[in-house]
Amino acid sequence: MKLIKYPKYLSHSLVVASLLTLVMALGSCQEEDENDINVGPPQIERVRTTDPTTTDSALTSATLGTTLAIMGNNFLGTQQVYLNDYPLGVNTAYVTNNSVIVTVTDSVPTVATNPDVPNTLRIVTKSGESVIDFQTLPPAPQILQVKNQYVKPGDELEIYGRYFYFVDTVYFPGEDVYVTSGFQTNSAGNTLKVTVPEGLDFSESQSIGIITKSGGSVAGRTSQIYAGKGMVADFDTNGALEWPWNWGWGLSGEMIKPSQPGIESLEGSFAGMNQAFPANYGWNNDKVLNLTNWDGVQIFPTEPGTDYAPSTPANKFDIRLEMAVSSTASIDGLELQFWFPDKNGNELSYNLPITDVIRQTDGSWYTVSVNLSLLTNGTTRLNTYQDLLDGDGWAKQLRLVVINPTANDISAVMGFDNIRIIRAVN
């Protein structure tokens, strides 16, 4: 007998056809009324999918939504089928003396909802019951946030999401670049830590992927790491912007350095703010980073041209940066404003609640990501990447401001680094 741990995913039409075929095949020799048959206690021999090509297979686990064929003896008169003590319901049309067909509903408890689930399958008939070990798996993993996308080989990568149970492999950009051991997950299945391997190659992708017994995560904006493109301000490399003084206006160049109280740099220098951020939208220049070259030199990326083609829709790009906060006070209410003036005189902006990204104010670094199309003024927004490249018609500016709309000053130390424009969607 061939053992298969992971059931196939079948289309609805194939499942229905398989069910009919299976029931007809299994029931062709059992046309007697079940009430006329005196059967003994049920006995489960194995479980398989309804795919006719898996007739000799046996499952030891299944994900939510899977349709199962329970194979064995003395199933006529089946009253109920339980997975982890949850009743699945029985359709008598799908019951023969040697098989019962059921679907694993989304309500069946798994380790994701109850860490103490028994991992059993139980069938109950008029003549008794039969129980086997059987693991009901949670849904496939979902990546909601990569804590710090600016990583290199040897760094620890921390990922937030859902259903990080029974992790088998974490894939990185590149051919055969993956990790199969050494990762750490918490009991809630919402955090995973893994060491970044050697051999990263971003020519095809910038996403990571998590594979578990339940399946694989879906690649997207929230699963990406830094691919080495699109840098506007790393606070170390001189170009259109020069550090620590000739880069626009806002905080003092003396605040661009490798450390601030409670925060150490990822690499080189970063821009720091250390103050009581004034209440009620209060203003000071020390909470501002207004990046620009006053001679009109382009500060936004244009290469590679395939990624930064001017006609590309703006919603395919993100503004990203790393941000760290060190504070013993609550930062609830603080916002990070992204501001851009377009060539038509419109001031476009978007305010991001800082706690949407920063989970702990312990000085560790988080990646902030904002879609370019979120910067608006009424109904006006950036339509194409060319709108960003045009700037205000002369200078190209991007401003970050920490805003405190609450009634009280909030004291914190903040760090900002690696401000970039990323082509997030092809």
Q: What is the pLDDT of residue 53?
A: 86
- Kindly state the percentage of the chain with pLDDT values over 70: 91
pLDDT in tens, 316-328: 999 999 999 999 9
Query: Taking a C-beta distance cutoff of 8 angstroms, is the pair 410, 331 a contact?
Result: yes
pLDDT in tens, 380-407: 999 999 999 999 999 999 999 999 999 9
Peptide bond into 244 cis (omega under 30): yes
Q: Which amino acid is at 153?
A: P
In this model, does residue 364 exceed pLDDT 70?
Answer: yes
Contacts of 59 (CB under 8 A, 6+ apart): 4, 5, 7, 46, 47, 48, 49, 68, 134
Structural domains in the chain, CATH included, are 2-137 (2.60.40.10), 142-223 (2.60.40.10), 231-423 (2.60.120.260)
Lowest mean pLDDT among 47-56, 340-349, 408-417: 47-56
Q: What is the pLDDT of residue 37?
A: 58
pLDDT in tens, 219-248: 999 999 999 999 999 999 999 999 999 999
Exposed/middle/buried for residue 119 (C-beta within 10 Å: 0-12, 13-18, 19+):
middle
Angle at 67 between CA 109 and CA 15, to 5 degrees: 150
Lowest mean pLDDT among 33-42, 56-65, 190-199, 256-265: 33-42
Q: What is the mean pLDDT of the chain?
A: 92
In this model, does residue 331 exceed pLDDT 90?
Answer: yes
Q: Report residue 238 CA to chain centroid gap.
A: 34
pLDDT in tens, 126-178: 999 999 999 999 999 999 999 999 999 999 999 999 999 999 999 999 999 99
Phi (first) and psi of residue 160, to 5 degrees: -110, 145
pTM: 0.85
What confidence category does residue 39 fall into, taking pLDDT thresholds of 50, 70 and 90? confident
Strand 178-179, strand 167-171: pairing: antiparallel
If DSSP states are collapsed to H, E and C, what string results for the chain? Answer: CEEECCCCCCCHHHHHHHHHHHHHHHHCCCCCCHHHCCCCCCEEEEEEECCHHHCCEEECEEECCCEEEEEEECCCCEEEEEECCEECCCCHHHECCCEEEEECCCCCCCCCCCCCCCCEEEEEECCEEEEEECEEECCCCEEEEECCCCCCCCCEEEEEEECCCCEEEEECCCCCCEECCCCEECCCCCEEEEECCCCCCCCCCCECEEEECCEECCCCHHHECCCCCCEEECCCCCCCCCCCCCCEEECCHHHEECEECCEECCCCCEEEEEEEECCCCCCCHHHEEEEECCCCCCCCCCCCCCCCCCCCEHHHEEEEEEEEEECCCCCCCCEEEEEEECCCCCEEEEEEEHHHCCCCCEEEEEEEEEEHHHCEECCEECCEHHHHHHCCCCCCEEEEEEECCCCCCEEEEEEEEEEEEEECCC
Phi (first) and psi of residue 410, to 5 degrees: -130, 120
